[in-house]
Amino acid sequence: MIRHDHNPGRRGVAMLLVIVSLMMATIMATAYLASRDNSAAIGQNIVSAGAARWSATTGLELGIAIFQTETDWRTAHTDGKLLDDYQIAAALIDLDIIDLATGQPPTAESEYIQLTSTATVEGVAQVATAMAYVPLDYNSAVSVDLSEFAIFTGQDLELSGDAILTRWPMAPLADLGLRIAVGTQAVDPSSIDLLGNVAVIDTTVYHDPDASSALITDTSGSSVDQVALPGAIPMPAAPDPGVTEPEDPSPNLMVDSVGETITYNTDGRWDRVIDENSHVTLQGDITLVTDDDRRLLVGTMLKIDGNVTLVIFGDLIMDNSAIELMPGSTLDMYVRGAMELRDSYIGDERVDNTRDNSGNAAYMDPDRVQIYSLPPYQNDWLLRNNSVVKASIYAPGYAMEIADDSAVYGRVAAGELRIKHQGALFYDHSLDSRNGYTTTDSELYDADGTLISELDLLLSLNDSDLQSFADAIGTDVESEGEMVISTTSTVTTNVEPLPGDPTPRPVPVEYEIISFGTDVKAWEEKASTALIQ
């Protein structure tokens, strides 16, 4: 019997579905086989990337090891290239170094280094970067000028309102994230007050072992750490400027009038003010003394072009004025009277009149400006309105206030210190020699961990007192960047390593790994090439 198909279209659809299924199976099988065909290449890229990453870290460790030796790496590089295609296992390592202070290849004086390690394995590159502090004088002079402290006070310290104490973000060592040290001789309850909305970042307070357990009153939630040092830290008198006391009658060697532009390039004594809108340049290695008050009136500019010492036996009043240092210049300024800055500036040259109190002011080594107090200690030093100072300030016995929208970039050692309103202090860790009172294995401590008794000889930071102290302990002494060499020190000759011994690494290096990276574009191009093949 013959059967007739009354629905031939259904059979056609079924056949079409079969054909589509076969096509899809073929495509999927082809794709699977293609992926399996390239999986080895992709897997190799992943392995190479992992190996390059670890090799980049190894490169950093190799660079740090070089820094720890006494090799002349600071000048042995080629335009900042310390190693080029140095082979470690299957990786080729490049090490590049930059002086963080200058942004240029290191010189013989470089201490703050950015180290970049680039490792390449099978065409895949990985980059690792670290910041390092490599001291030039790593086993010699002890530091006694308290510059390891962002703040050091003889008595009270108060931060209130929206005051800030933190690292200077633009300083070379900011990325290392080092803690900020605050020191005090105070022992009474509430000698340190942190009030209101103050921000005290990553700070440790160092104090006398006999200080009250309630030394710090903190309503801000800053949660500072505390360390009791094994003895009271001395705060010597400021150095003597080495000039005679004011004469009577005082000579008048300064002739300024409103709007005048004038240059001084010889030593002299003044008894007059710098008048409104004057522009005065102090040029050369000179010492200028003012026997009366020195007032830099509205709009006045004082340029420092050389290594200038300015001694002010009266008051220093600056109102919308500036003291600017030209490149390579330094200023040592001694003030006996009151000091008040209103909308004024002390620091490096600026391209405009901006006074940046945000922490982002352009970097300048604060040691280029040293501001000292002169006895008798009976005056206040005030930064008002929007005043900015880039300096190392050493004013024992004086009370200092940083108020309104003012800021200090550097450090302050004073009898008392108040930072209030939106006032700020931004510390530069390059001021810390790592061989002062916060380093308890320095020569400032006896073998039993107590402060040495010879510190009683340290009455001031005068060269004569520093020399007596250095000779008494047989160790070189550093103060405000200047070195006093002990005449009684004994130099230990380094023992040469035996053949086969590792290279000695006597240099202490502080470093922080700050980034890892990868050349993603190169990795993708290599992977794409493998797929095409």
Q: Residue 408's closest CA among 471, 495, 346, 332?
A: 346
Dist. CA 48–CA 51, nearest whole Å: 5
Per-residue pLDDT at 203 exceeds 90:
yes
What global pTM score does this model have?
Answer: 0.79
Band of pLDDT at residue 524, cut at 50, 70 and 90:
very low
Q: Do residues 258 and 280 lie in contact, with contact meaning Cβ atoms separated by under 8 Å? A: no
pLDDT at 149: 97
- The pair phi, psi for residue 44, each rounded to 5°, is -65, -35
Q: State the average pLDDT over residues 470-498.
A: 79
pLDDT at 530: 45
Q: Is 154 in a helix, a strand, or coil?
A: coil
pLDDT at 221: 84
Q: State the average pLDDT over residues 487-500.
A: 67
Q: Do residues 370 and 346 lie in contact, with contact meaning Cβ atoms separated by under 8 Å? A: no
pLDDT at 109: 86
Q: Do residues 290 and 269 lie in contact, with contact meaning Cβ atoms separated by under 8 Å? A: yes
The full set of domain ranges for the chain reads 46-137+506-532, 142-431
What is 46-137+506-532's CATH number?
Answer: 3.30.1300
- 496 contact partners, CB below 8 Å, separation of at least 6: none
Per-residue pLDDT at 437 exceeds 90:
yes
3-state secondary structure 117-153: EEEEECCEEEEEEEEEECCCCCCCCEECCCCCCCEEE
Per-residue pLDDT at 205 exceeds 90:
yes
Handedness of CA 144, 147, 148, 151 (dihedral sign): positive
Per-residue pLDDT at 139 exceeds 60:
no
Q: pLDDT, tens digit, for every residue of 141-175?
A: 899 999 999 999 999 999 999 999 999 999 988 88
Q: Do residues 200 and 194 lie in contact, with contact meaning Cβ atoms separated by under 8 Å? A: yes
pLDDT at 45: 62
Per-residue pLDDT at 1 exceeds 70:
no
pLDDT at 519: 46
- Going from the C-alpha of 141 to that of each of 23, 430, 443, 474, 479, the distances in angstroms are 83, 16, 9, 10, 9
List, in sequence order, every beta strand (DSSP E) within 179-320.
180-184, 192-194, 199-200, 203-207, 216-218, 225-228, 261-264, 268-270, 279-283, 287-290, 294-296, 301-305, 307-312, 316-319
Per-residue pLDDT at 44 exceeds 70:
no
Q: Residue 381's closest CA among 408, 421, 360, 363?
A: 408
- Tokens representing 168? 């200077």
Band of pLDDT at residue 529, cut at 50, 70 and 90:
very low
Q: pLDDT, tens digit, for every residue of 264-298?
A: 899 888 766 676 788 889 999 999 988 877 777 77
